[in-house]
Amino acid sequence: MRTDWEGKLNSKKDFQDLLLNIINPLIPHYSEEKAELILGVTATNYDQKAIRLEAFSRPLWGLVPFWAGGGSSPEFEEIYRKGLAAGTNPESKEYWGGFHAFDQRFVEMAAISYGLILTPEKVWEPLSDKEKENLVNWLYGINEYELPICNWILFAVLVNIALKARGQKYDAEKLEYYLDGLDQFYLGNGWYQDGDSGQKDYYISFAIHFYSLFYAKVMEKEDPQRCAKYKERANTFAQTFIYWFAEDGLSLPFGRSLTYRFSQVSFFCACLMADIEPFPVGVMKGLIVRHLCAWMKQPIFDRSDILTVGYAYPNLVMGERYNGPGSAYWALKTFAILMLPDEHPFWSAKAEPMPELKTQLAIPEAAMLMHRYKNHVTAFTPGKYSPAGHGQTPAKYGKFAYDTGFGFNVAKSTCEVHECAPDSMLAFYINGYVYTRRICEEYEIKEDRVISRWIPYEGITVETHIIPTEEGHIRKHIIESDRECVAYDCGFAVEIDVPGEKLTEAANMAEVENHYSSCKVMATGTNGDGTVIIADPNTNLMHPMTRIPAVCYKICKGKNELDTTVEVRFEK
């Protein structure tokens, strides 16, 4: 697998070569009738047949725009012709099966519909009349079930406009119902929430906006008013979403589905697909190129060059219950740009740096206060999230700060502090268990701080003020407790086992540093004990081995006021 694309990702062919570099290793792993892609043995909350369908369908997020833009791959064309025929044939041993409520099969219909709309000559016209009938009947099944009230409703939108495009039966009433339903998610300023979960994470960019912009591309003549609205919202969203990206191209590790990795930049690719330019083409190209190059340097592929579950390295600990061996190929949505014609300005544009952005920006719709430091970006958050988790939800939404350079840790257990690895949290240790911010009762996003009122444990309430500074941030906690206990105010997790490693513990202060980064945590208002937490290996998303500087405070019955200063350095 080629990993060094720095300075070598410019022309359309370069991007086509990168896609093929990623997907060609999949070819030996398709099943006999090609309807299943068998990449591993780990489980999900859906069945193995759906796991193998997911792996089969997701390469289409890259292949379809590759074909639509003039790319040729006869071997993949044959694989998907055979696979679509077998997978939707009830008489085949590789039939993908019928449906049930909340079926993963509905998710995977989206990529197939993408192909039916953009490249019918590859995935529709080569099929026999019977095979077409089977495919239509299978796809139409999504209309016979109620879908979760979230980004899933857009899978039905894609299916129905695909069936309509091919002159087949579709559900016009459901199509309109789901399109109208999307407006119920809209918050303003370009931001949506992901349905009734209330989450504001990458599903807003790589799902809701991505599908809306695709709709705007292919339905503009039939539905001009709605398409214009989607484009306008995307253009507005881009003005604040770009703050999630650092100068080096890396994006904010925050929320769920981070195993989709470089799909983080796919929103800007969808903008180009839909012919909108929230920033100059060269700026968007620079961001896309730097993002992809940064990801290709990471050890995200296994020895067979298959994308893994994980983030900056293979890591099942951080995965969700719906992350299967083929899930990560959702990242191929970024290759939507390959459908751009050869003469599109993107291909000849020079990759330009980020536009001039504010040092600090409140994004109330996203419940974030962003601060841009030298070489990295931090998001300060109130910890408000849906209680219906998919895995490691408190770690993915509940921390005080998320950073492009340091990443964050997930817990292996809540029995010991080192297993909980509670970076960027105030962690209470009570009766042998660790309790962090989980129930956020209310919050405020101000121009200069984030305020949250939360409950870590029955009988304990906390009001936390997070105030960004030029060197890091200040935390002020007002704690009302009905018991005595201890609490660890933890900084970012810093990579160790690299040159320059140094751990410091002192009264009221702890620091972890290496040759390119450091984090120092200091008690500034109340006495505490500086300590370095030996985080369990593989708990951090970006680095297999980290240490967390913290101040350990004694919590008394009644009112406690803690002031903690966090200072950071990042030069990588």
Residues 370 and 337 reside in one and the same domain: no
Counting the structural domains of the chain, the total is 2
pLDDT digits (tens, 9 = 90+) for 85-125: 999 999 999 999 999 999 999 999 999 999 999 999 999 99
Q: Is 103 helix (H, G, I), strand (E, B) or coil?
A: coil
pLDDT digits (tens, 9 = 90+) for 461-471: 999 999 999 99
Say which amino acid occupies 492.
Answer: F
Which of 291, 324, 348 terminates a domain? The answer is 348
In angstroms, the Cα distances linking 116 to 113, 120, 121, 232, 321 are 5, 5, 8, 27, 29
CATH code of the domain in which 279 resides: 1.50.10.10
Say which amino acid occupies 551.
Answer: V
CB-based contact 59:104 (threshold 8 Å): no
The C-alpha atoms of residue 561 and residue 476 are separated, in whole angstroms, by 7
The C-alpha atoms of residue 188 and residue 12 are separated, in whole angstroms, by 35
Residues 202 and 111 reside in one and the same domain: yes
Query: Around 11, how many Cα atoms within 13 Å sit in the side-chain half-sphere?
Result: 3
How do beta strands 460-468 and 472-481 pair? antiparallel
Residues 329 and 371 reside in one and the same domain: no
**How many Cβ atoms from other residues are within 10 Å of residue 13's Cβ?**
11
pLDDT digits (tens, 9 = 90+) for 481-509: 999 999 999 999 999 999 999 999 999 99
The domain in which residue 210 lies consists of: 12-348
pLDDT of 387 > 80? The answer is no
How do beta strands 360-363 and 509-513 pair? unpaired
Q: Is 36 helix (H, G, I), strand (E, B) or coil?
A: coil
User: Who contacts 342 (Cβ-Cβ below 8 Å, separation ≥6)?
Assistant: 12, 69, 70
DSSP label at 9?
Answer: -
Q: Which two tokens stand for residue 383?
A: 């910890």
Q: Which two tokens stand for residue 266?
A: 């796919």
CB-based contact 406:541 (threshold 8 Å): no
Composition of the chain by helix, strand, coil, percent to 5: 40, 25, 40
In a domain, 471, yes or no: yes
Average pLDDT score over residue span 131-149: 97
Residues 160 and 210 reside in one and the same domain: yes
CB-based contact 161:206 (threshold 8 Å): no
The C-alpha atoms of residue 161 and residue 168 are separated, in whole angstroms, by 10
Secondary structure element (H or E) that encloses residue 548, with its range: strand 546-555
pLDDT digits (tens, 9 = 90+) for 523-572: 998 889 999 999 999 999 999 999 999 999 999 999 999 999 999 999 98
Residues 334 and 470 reside in one and the same domain: no
Which of 323, 348, 373 terminates a domain? The answer is 348
pLDDT digits (tens, 9 = 90+) for 42-60: 999 999 999 999 999 999 9
What is the predicted pLDDT for the residue at 310? 98
DSSP label at 570?
Answer: E
Which of 348, 382, 397 terminates a domain? The answer is 348
Tokens 């009766």, residue located: 431
pLDDT digits (tens, 9 = 90+) for 319-341: 999 999 999 999 999 999 999 99
Cα distance between the two ends of the chain: 24
Nearest-10 Cα torsion for 500, 505, 510, 511 = 0
CA 4, chain centre distance (Å): 23
Average pLDDT score over residue span 65-72: 98
Residues 338 and 449 reside in one and the same domain: no
CB-based contact 531:570 (threshold 8 Å): no
DSSP structure string for 78-98: HHHHHHHHHHT-TTSTT----
Residues 455 and 545 reside in one and the same domain: yes
DSSP label at 559?
Answer: E
What is the predicted pLDDT for the residue at 388? 66
pLDDT of 362 > 70? The answer is yes
Say which amino acid occupies 350.
Answer: K
Residues 326 and 380 reside in one and the same domain: no
Tokens 């896609």, residue located: 19
pLDDT of 33 > 80? The answer is yes
pLDDT digits (tens, 9 = 90+) for 221-239: 999 999 999 999 999 999 9
User: Who contacts 77 (Cβ-Cβ below 8 Å, separation ≥6)?
Assistant: 67, 122, 126
Residues 329 and 401 reside in one and the same domain: no
The C-alpha atoms of residue 530 and residue 505 are separated, in whole angstroms, by 5
Looking at 317-375, which runs of residues are DSSP E strands? Answer: 360-363, 368-373
Residues 369 and 337 reside in one and the same domain: no
In a domain, 28, yes or no: yes
